[in-house]
Amino acid sequence: MSVCLPPKFTPLTNAIRALAMDAVQQANSGHPGAPMGMAEIAEVLWRRHLRHNPANPAWPDRDRFVLSNGHGSMLIYALLHLSGYDVTIDDLKKFRQLHARTPGHPEFGYTPGVETTTGPLGQGITNAVGFALAEKVLAAEFNRPGHSIVDHYTYTFLGDGCLMEGVSHEACSLAGTLGLGKLIAFWDDNGISIDGHVEGWFTDDTPKRFEAYGWHVIANVDGHDAEAIEKALLAARAETGKPSLICCKTIIGAGSPGKQGSHDCHGAPLGKDEIAAARAYIGWNHPPFEIPDDVYAAWNGKVRGAAFEENWQRRFALYQAEFPELAAEFERRVMQRQLPATWEATKAAYLQACRDKAENIATRKASQNAIAALVPAVPEIFGGSADLAGSNLTFVKGSKGVTRTEGGNYCYYGVREFGMTAIANGIALHGGLIPYTATFLVFSDYARNGIRMAALMKQRQIMVYTHDSIGLGEDGPTHQPVEHIPSMRIIPNLDVWRPADATETAIAWISGVERQDGPSLLALSRQNLPTVTQNVTDADIAKGGYVLAENADAQITLIATGSEVKLALDAQAALAGEGIAARVVSMPCTNVFDRQSDDYKAAVLGACKKRIAIEAAHPDFWRKYVGLHGAVIGIDRFGESAPAGQLFDLFGFTVGNVVATAKSLLS
């Protein structure tokens, strides 16, 4: 259990406690314990140190604040409201209600001042590592002697739950290795989780754990003593070579005389009687949702915020005068979030090069070629792989790994698939960089919730997932994805590309770079694939599905993706030899295809209702296209360890099986 003295209740911290109690009570759901227990920590950080401007939440050099223990959302909503953001008292009264700007967990894009969506524990601190990494990279790229235009901190609050989640280990370990000295985390050490006192399931020596990561650790801070918190925060800011963890002993629900220090106040309203008792206990004699003017005045951050931003604008003007090209690049990338003026020419030239070469290469190699072509032209592209750069083919000439002492455009994430993905979400949210990440497709399982969060937050991240099928071969079923592609396709707002050749791969990459409202996933082959797109346009491919080989007399349509597109073409030829007319559709991205007009989709799928989908993945997804009268050649069990060619024969990915299946449908 935590050991600390009860708070010295003040009007400033009482305002947080009262708003949290009242909003949770009115909603009849929520988590009052964390906001009430962290009120003093929040007051010290937000009123004394956080550089932000409530009138302009998007000011580029603002400090970032992440509430990793996102269930305590009323803490950040109270802080935003009191500080002067466009979060009204009516917004607080609508806490957790339909279409309110104060959802149950903080959501990026809903509430001004919320930097990232938190709630899935551990991902907030991981996003914070991404923010801090982006700051380090951009500072190294843009700052010049006497001109620090990128110079801000990332602060995060986290609780025991965040530290129990494995992703916190992945991210914090890497943060220590990279020396992210502008990352400061406050651990709310209250000893309570939903099930009760954590000593039955969480007895880690957290300070030693973080010291082992290479963090600067400040232990045993009384989280209710403002001056102790202030001293610890100043010490953390003085340490520039390491991230800092401030370990704050707190009482959950502090101010609730009957429930503080227990799990009873963690995730449920306090109740009217207890709230009345709490008001008397802390000396808050105001009705629900009423804040005195003097308290508002003491909290208001607009004047300080305007001064912070104006100071930065003056410094940026001096920078602009001395380094006009760098300043213009900074404005383009960070403030305008636009691609370079040369983008259209770059992509046109690269697509033409792909067509001219018509290489017989694996799509993972085609992806590497795309990266090599795009990185020099789009310097904001920031790569990384989960210890598989040599297999994912994500490191190219011009890639430079970030180190403790230097910036770069590539991160060696180590074996941290989940951490990598959530860190990249933070990088994307920060602005100024377009992250791509990479691992084997089968290990997307580890990253799954990070992928989902990228889609939920509509963040641009390009996920390079190689070794996409049984084509992996000898590594066997542990490394052969079967269910992964169809399961990823059903994540809302995620574009899943499975290209058939170098040109389709290039278009998948271009689509991912251009897309600003969500992530893109590229499922890429280990084995070489021939060119199949010689006679189709880039524009058709970019629609996600198109007719690759038409036949006006078609009796059947073959739909395929990735490595199976060439199989479909070969089967078309074999069927023709037996007097059966077939057409072939390539569908590299079903998600993009589904967004096309009904007329276009109908034209691509064709009038004939006999359809066969061919994909080395679980078959059930394809029923939406082939219907009950069609067939799917897929894999509905785990793979085997053997050379790829033998496996494709074993699982029926042969011309003979496609022909036999077509004949069966037509009989």
Cα–Cα nearest to 127, from 168, 159, 166: 168
Strand partners, 612: 558, 631
Q: Is 322 helix (H, G, I), strand (E, B) or coil?
A: helix
The three-point CA angle 287-290-293 to 5° equals 130
Strands of 631-633's sheet, edge to edge?
546-549, 582-586, 556-560, 611-614, 631-633
Residue 227 falls in the annotated catalytic set:
no
* Distance set, CA 613 to CA 131, 489, 586 (Å): 42, 15, 10
Q: Which two tokens stand for residue 193?
A: 């989780």
Characterize 491-524 residue by residue with b for buried, 16 or more Cβ atoms within 10 angstroms of its Cβ, and e for exposed. Answer: beebbbbbbbbbbbbbbbbbbbbebeebbbbbbb
Cα–Cα nearest to 347, from 320, 321, 370, 379: 370
Alpha helices, DSSP H, located in 248-301:
272-282, 293-299
Q: Is 144 helix (H, G, I), strand (E, B) or coil?
A: strand
Q: Are the CB atoms for 19 and 78 separated by under 8 Å?
A: yes
CA distance linking residue 29 with residue 36, whole number of Å: 15
Cα–Cα nearest to 423, from 62, 166, 131: 131
Cα–Cα nearest to 152, from 122, 115, 105, 117: 115
Torsion angle (degrees, nearest 10) of CA 282, 284, 288, 290: -140
Neighbours of 539 (CB within 10 A): 9
Cβ-in-10-Å burial (0-12, 13-18, 19+) of 287 comes to exposed
Torsion angle (degrees, nearest 10) of CA 219, 224, 226, 229: 20
Alpha helices, DSSP H, located in 143-258:
160-164, 166-178, 206-213, 226-238
Q: Are the CB atoms for 409 and 380 separated by under 8 Å?
A: no
Estimate to the nearest angstrom the gap between the alpha carbon of 250 and the chain centroid.
30
Give the strand pairing for 611-614 and 520-523.
unpaired
Q: Is 436 helix (H, G, I), strand (E, B) or coil?
A: strand
Element (H, E) at 65: strand 64-67
Q: Which two tokens stand for residue 360?
A: 């017989």
Q: Are the CB atoms for 610 and 584 separated by under 8 Å?
A: no
Q: Which of 165, 417, 564, 615 is catalytic?
A: 417
Q: Which residues are catalytic?
A: 417
